[in-house]
Copies of this chain bind each other. A is one copy, B any other.
Amino acid sequence: MVAEAKKTRIVILGGGFAGLHAAIHLDDTLARDPDVEITLVNRDNFFLFTPMLHEVAASDLDLTNIVNPVRKLLKRINFFAGEVESIDLERNRVSVSHGFDHHHHELPYDHLVIGLGSITNFFNLPGLEERALTMKSLGDAIHLRNRLIAHLEEADTECCAAVRRPLLTFVVAGGGFAGVETIAGINDFVREAVPFYSNLREDMLRVVLVHPGNVILPELGEKLGRYTEKKLTERKVEIRVNTRVTGVTDNSVQLSTGETIESKALIWTAGTSPNPVLDSLPCAKERGRLKVDEMLQVSGWPGVWALGDCALVPDRKTGQYHPPTAQHALREGKTLATNLIASVRGGILKPFSFSTIGQLAAIGRRTGVANIFGINFSGFAAWWLWRTIYLSKLPRFEKKLRVALDWTLNLLFTKDLVQFQTFRAPTISHKNGMEPQVPLPDISLPDIDAGQVASLETLP
């Protein structure tokens, strides 16, 4: 017990690009030290590869293939599947909840790494919190996919056009990467699915992108933004620039231009906020993000580190802050691991330094847009880059292989239309019907037919 008490305890909060990559770099280094104990806390027991999330929503990739179990990515670091409830910087403790009863645990730490990311913010716009769909988690993507199919199923059976129109109109708010990739995926999916619905025609579909700026994909520059607008418009996506969503009701989406779009599906990708757990922390923040120095240390709190979307990391070269992107987050993870090792073992901390290499977006139907080292790519070449680069970044060979196979099979088959209703089969509880657990005299005990041979005509 004496030896136990002497251990240096490191707790990492959040298993996104930032937290996970910090953990991966520590797993093979500091975590080998017998007197160091490292714990990673994350809500899900998997790492979600968010750049491919829109491919799940659009039925291009199987949902299992863009997630990796954290326990298979880390060997020596403890994993704790739970929700971070609060952080007590004064007492060096984190309160986490988990399990069926959401009971609490306290995790004491000597070093704390905060990588809690950001969450979707609806900015008090009326109706959004209750009705808008989002695109942040695997559940979000499954939910969106199910909604698209549910709308097609319902519209197929409605004979009245007034009921059908809002079901067949899909609105995405926000023309950044998430919004553009999502609308491109939705557009491809519904147009490919509609021939299977005998009462629906493609001209009944409306897919609308609402963007507050002058041109979509502003991070990629006006030229690629205009190219994307042209491509999407050719594929019948309606684009409203200089327009905001101002509210949503059960059957319509209101725009800042005064226009009302009849729609039952608004997907909101137009705003985020840092994790609200950070709100109560007594350290320096700006717009909710934690201020850190170039070493990724939270100012004034020795042993507390922050990185990723929830941290404001100064960029010496520009005098501003590093943008909250995956490519920055995973490199911050590596720098943080290096600095943490130096802190524990003794050594010199190094400042985080990195410049954006490039940015890419997949915009549907084997086209993409990319700006890499200042050079613009568009069309098939950019889409090919997108696939190659992200596939190489997806952790674990198994998942790379499965995604590559999925993409290959997509060349042969149309998109799947299965609605993943997660509801369980109906049950009943009464004394009538079959006797419990006893085969009947005249008919054999019904079961789910698992294992009962369907036919043996194919026997060799």
* Closest beta carbon of chain B to A161's beta carbon, Å: 16
CA distance A43 to B316 in the complex (A): 59
Contact across chains for B425 and A140 when beta carbons are under 8 A apart: yes
Enumerate A267-323 residues with CB–CB distance to B below 8 Å: 269-274, 276, 287-288, 309, 312, 320-323
Across the interface, do A389 and B453 meet the contact criterion of CB distance under 8 Å?
yes
Given known A-B contacts A429-B122, A433-B274, A459-B389, A450 and B137 have beta carbons under 8 A apart: no
Residues of B within 8 A of A142 (CB): 420, 422
CB distance from A87 to the nearest CB of B (A): 16
Q: Residue A434 at the B interface, CB < 8 A?
A: yes
A392 contact set on B, CB distance < 8 A = 455, 458
Interface residues of A in 329-380 (CB under 8 A from B): 329-330, 357-362, 370, 372-373
Q: Give A133 Cβ to nearest chain B Cβ, in Å.
A: 8
Provide 14 A-B residue pairs closer than 8 Å at the C-beta atoms, listed in order of the A residue.
Answer: A120-B426, A120-B428, A121-B436, A124-B430, A174-B447, A212-B437, A323-B444, A360-B453, A361-B451, A372-B453, A386-B451, A389-B455, A389-B456, A402-B409
Minimum CB–CB distance for A322 against chain B, Å: 8
**Cβ of A225 < 8 Å from any Cβ of B?**
no
- On whether the beta carbons of B389 and A154 are closer than 8 Å, the reply is no
Q: Out of B309, B389, B453, B455, name the residue touching A446 (CB < 8 Å).
A: B309
- In the complex, what residues of B have CB within 8 A of residue A80's CB? 157
CA distance A312 to B442 in the complex (A): 10
Q: Which of A3-11, A22-30, A62-70 participates in binding chain B?
A: A62-70
Q: Please pick, from B62, B143, B362, B450, the residue contacting A422 in the complex, using a CB distance under 8 A.
A: B143
Q: How far is the CB of A155 from chain B (nearest CB, A)?
A: 9
Proximity bits, A111-136, B CB within 8 Å = 1, else 0: 00000001111111100110000111
- Tell me which of B71, B98, B419 contacts A45 (CB under 8 A): B419
Q: Across the interface, do B430 and A178 meet the contact criterion of CB distance under 8 Å?
A: no
The chain B residue with its CB closest to the CB of A386 is B451
